[in-house]
Amino acid sequence: MDIYFRVAFKPVGKLMKTQIQERSRHDPCVLPRAVPIVEAMAAIIIADHLIRNN
């Protein structure tokens, strides 16, 4: 059976303007990682519910 749900991501954490030089990893777009993140979280939630109901 198909499972349908909505997904939302918050905006990236840093401003795009250079104010202070920081040496952290920053990706301006989360889209390339969105599908694996959603699939992994859905699998975790489904497994959690299966464990709770047994």
How far out from the chain centre does Cα 45 lie? 14
CA proximity to 36, closest of 11, 12, 2, 7? 7
Rounded to 5 degrees, what angle do the CA atoms 6, 25, 34 make?
Answer: 20
Do 2 and 42 touch, CB atoms closer than 8 A?
A: no
- DSSP per-residue codes, 31-51: HHHHHHHHHHHHHHHHHHHHH
In a domain, 43, yes or no: yes
Domain that holds residue 45: 26-54
Q: Is residue 11 part of a domain?
A: no
pLDDT of residue 54: 76
In a domain, 33, yes or no: yes
1 is a domain residue: no
pLDDT in tens, the chain (54 residues): 888 889 888 776 665 566 556 666 666 677 788 889 889 999 999 999 999 987
